[in-house]
Every structure is written in C-alpha cells, then in structure tokens.
Amino acid sequence: MSDASIRRSGAECAAVSALAVLALGLAVRSAAAQGVVSTLDVGGATLRYGDSVSATAVTVSPTIRADWTRATLAASGTASQLGAGGWSMQGAVDASLFTLADGPLVGELAGRTGGSAHQDGTRTGQTLAVGRAHVMATRAGFWGGLGVGQSWDGTAWHAVRLAEAGAWAHVGVVTALAAVTPTAVQDTLRYTDAMLSLRFDLARTELGASAGLRSGRRLPALGGGARSWAGASATVWVAPSVGLVAAAGTYPVDLTQGFPGGRYATLSLRVGSRGAGRGAHAADRGAAERGHPSAPPSADRRILSFRVESGRGDRRTLRVHAPEANAVEVCGDFTAWQTAALARGDDGWWTVTLPISRGAHQLNVRVDGGPWVVPPGLDPLADEFGGTVGLFVVDTVDK
C-alpha cells in the first residue's frame, strides 16, 4: 500500500458510502437485479455516548439491497442533524458472491467498506474482505469464515484480522442467529465478540432482539467500557409500504474505528418494501439462491396442483400438491421475494399460511431446490426483471 493510499482519510470512505445508496440504485437497474428492496427511515433519536455526553438528533437513513441468484449488494447510510447544531454522516456498502452449491455446502466471498464523518472533524473508515463456508439446510445452517482488512480511527490505518463462526435456525415465525467473532487489530489488541439475535415475523409486526458479550484483556475504554450490550426493535406496518419503527438499547465500543460505546432510543417512519431489513447476514437469509426468481414458464411436472385458500383477516393458505417432493418453497411480492418453506402433509399437499392482502399478486414455486416455476393453474406473466411469474388474484371477502 502506497503512502498516498495510507493517508486517505475516513471522510473519503464516508462520502463514498453515503453516495453509494443512490449509486447502487442506479447500478442494479442496469444490471437487471432479480430482487431490489429499498427503504427510507426518517425520525428522531436520543443518544448517550460513553455514559457522559447526551444528544438528540433528527435522522435520515436510506437503505437498498439487490439480490441476484448467487450475489447480493447492499448499501446503507445515515445523516444526523444534532440538536446542538452539529451533524454526522455514516454509511457502508456490503457485497457477497456465492459459489454453486455442492450438496449442502456453499462458499461465499464477502466485502464491506464504509466510514463516517462528523462536524468536529472526526473521521473513520474500514474495508474488510471475508471468505465463508456455509452448510445450508431449508430451516437451519451454520458457517465459518476468515477475514482481513484495514481500519482508520481518525489518526492512522490499522490492520484487522478476524474469524467467524455462527449458526442460524428458522422455526415458524422465529429466526435465531448466534455468532462468535475473534478479532485482532494490529498485533496488540485482541478480543472476541459473541452475539445472539432473535427475529419474530408476525402478520403486520416485526420484532427483534439482540445481545452481545465481549471478552479480552487490557481493552481500551474509548468512552464507555461496558463489555455487554443488548437492544430491541419493533416495526409495525400500518400500510403495505409504510411502517413505524422503534428501537432502544446499548451498543459496544467499536475498537477497530475508535467509536465510543453508548445508549440509544429511536423512533422513525419507514417508507419502502416490507422485508427490506431482513437478514443482515447471508446465512440469516437462508440460502444463496434467494431473491426474485427468473424462471422459465414451463412447470415442474412434480407440481400437480396449486390453490390459494382464504383465512381469518388477511391470512391466506398456499397449497401445493407435490406428493413426490422432498421440499417445496414459494416466494412472491407478498414475501418481499424472500423464500418461504411449505410444510408437508400426509396427503401429499404442502402448505404455508401467510399475510396476503386482497388484489393481484405474483409468485413462483420450486421443488427440491430446483428452478423457480409458475405453478399450474396460474397465468404466466413477464415481469420487469426479464423473468416469468405466476399471477393470481385474491378477491374473496375476509372472514
């Protein structure tokens, strides 16, 4: 690395990351991404840094994520106007490229770059590359990985090395994820973070909770020396594209970039597609092939029939008759093009009950991890991404 590149300030990383949200939105359109989800949160926050400095802020946070068959690209940013007249900006870009599956094994090469800039002149930045190996199943999996990178704490660049090990599971409406990340900064600072998170996806509400614990010796406090943290969040969708988001908790010191630890409480209005924030980690999303399918119109002959049955409120039961199948999955606009697994019955019918509003909807089905297809009985429709989806209409009166 040249002297010029070493002296690049974290402000450059922050500026690049802040603009990346817009740039990514333009790029994925031209690249025909198979699934694009974006949100914009506008709200307020109260913060307490290092148990000594309190502040209030108005925040604007755009996010966008694009999914291809074996790749993801995401960008996020936050601009904060502090009540005392100050400001801060931060942002990050994440990308992952997956290998073809070899049975349950999937490889991943991931990268992350980001940074922050503040009115007082403080600037940070970080760039990381991580290789991961996943063992995937329909409802659970685990992964391990190694990573290297550089971080800028406002005064100098530091080498970062890390390892990862984690597992996830999806049961009903609950997704659980646990991970352990040993990290070394230069040759002097070593610590390990352990994290556990839970997510509950209900009909119109998404709940989240997380907790973490840090171990290590002679760790700098950097304002707030707590070695444990926890947080909770709730998103209530008052309309298909409008939600209210509340969150509160504590967060640890960022020892790679020099951020102090603290406490937070936020309340914001979210505009965008439901499901955009799900699955920050690739394993949490379940499988490398998730995303909007680009399927041929020809049906899988193992799918004999398809039905949509109405339930209470906006609940609908999707039924797929595939007696020879070992696994059946569905994704559609009502799942934000995230994969949903169906449960097998003794009669060869596979079912899943989901919130689906009245009106026209699009979906695809796949059997045993094969290609996404239009199920029999639905009209094939060419979508804006160049793929083919099945069109169905929910027009019955809710019970």
pLDDT at 292: 34
pLDDT at 12: 38
Query: Which SS3 state, helix, strand or coil, does residue 13 take?
Result: helix
Per domain, the residue ranges of the chain are 3-285, 305-394
Nearest residue to 320 via CA among 348, 286, 279: 348
Domains 3-285 and 305-394 share a fold: no
What percent of the chain is predicted at pLDDT more than 70? 76
Query: Which SS3 state, helix, strand or coil, does residue 203 take?
Result: coil
Distance CA 5, CA 7 (A): 5
- The 10s digit of each residue's pLDDT in 163-176 is 999 998 877 778 88
Q: pTM score, two decimals?
A: 0.64
Q: Where are the alpha helices (DSSP H) in 75-225?
A: none
Distance CA 387, CA 329 (A): 18
Cβ distance 88 to 115 under 8 Å? no
Other Cβ atoms within 10 Å of 258 Cβ, number: 19
For all residues of the chain together, what is the average pLDDT?
78
Q: Quote the DSSP letter at residue 373.
A: B
Arithmetic mean of pLDDT, 375-397: 73
Other Cβ atoms within 10 Å of 247 Cβ, number: 17
* Whether domain 305-394 has CATH 3.40.50.970: no
Q: Is the pLDDT score of 375 beyond 70?
A: yes
Other Cβ atoms within 10 Å of 298 Cβ, number: 11
Lowest-pLDDT range of 89-93, 191-195, 277-281: 277-281
Nearest residue to 353 via CA among 314, 304, 295, 303: 314
DSSP per-residue string spanning 121-167 = S-EEEEEEEEEEEEEE-SSEEEEEEEEEEEEE-SS-EEEEEEEEEEE
DSSP per-residue string spanning 245-295 = EEEEEEE--BTTTTBPPEEEEEEEEEEE-TTTTS-SSGGGGS-TT-SS--B
Arithmetic mean of pLDDT, 95-113: 86
Instruction: Give me the residue label for tokens 């980690």.
Output: 281
Most confident of 21-30, 323-332, 390-399: 323-332
Superfamily of domain 3-285: monomeric porin ompg (2.40.160.40)
Q: Which two tokens stand for residue 371?
A: 């290609």
Arithmetic mean of pLDDT, 290-296: 34
Distance CA 300, CA 293 (A): 14
pLDDT at 78: 92
Query: Which SS3 state, helix, strand or coil, does residue 14 take?
Result: helix
Query: Which SS3 state, helix, strand or coil, does residue 50 take?
Result: coil
Arithmetic mean of pLDDT, 138-163: 88
Give me the residues paired with residue 107 across strands. 133
Nearest residue to 252 via CA among 278, 224, 220, 210: 224
Q: Is the pLDDT score of 30 beyond 50?
A: no
